[in-house]
Amino acid sequence: MWLLWEFYWAVRESRSLQMLVLGIVLATLAVAEAAVVGAGWLHLEKLFAGVTVVVIASAAAASLYAADAAYRREEERRMEAGQRL
């Protein structure tokens, strides 16, 4: 839950991260559409496999960005605390 909260704040604060999330969503939709069109409705397991791969990769990227954003915020807090002393 903590990681989701950090990711939320990272996305809220960063325009480039918002574009990354939008790109991930659009890529997921494109893969889903291609799988449906290419495999037909009879082979939905290919659709689910493709979407699963994209979602897992997206979650990994989001986790890295969220962890990086949390680290940077903590680093900024430490710098500010050091300047106040």
What is the residue-wise DSSP string for 16-75? HHHHHHHHHHHHHHHHHHHHHHHH-TT-HHHHHHHHHHHHHHHHHHHHHHHHHHHHHHHH
> pTM of the entire structure?
0.44
Distance CA 77, CA 82 (A): 9
- pLDDT for the residue 6: 67
Q: Roughly how many angstroms between the first and final C-alpha of the chain, as a whole number?
A: 33
Q: Where residue 1 falls among pLDDT bands split at 50, 70, 90?
A: low
- pLDDT of 6-61, one tens digit each? 666 666 676 666 667 777 777 777 777 776 666 665 566 766 777 777 777 777 77
Is the Cβ–Cβ distance between 54 and 31 less than 8 Å?
Answer: yes
Higher per-residue confidence, 47 vs 85: 47
Q: How many domains does the chain have?
A: 1
- pLDDT for the residue 50: 73
- pLDDT for the residue 11: 67
Range of the domain at 71: 2-84
- pLDDT for the residue 15: 66
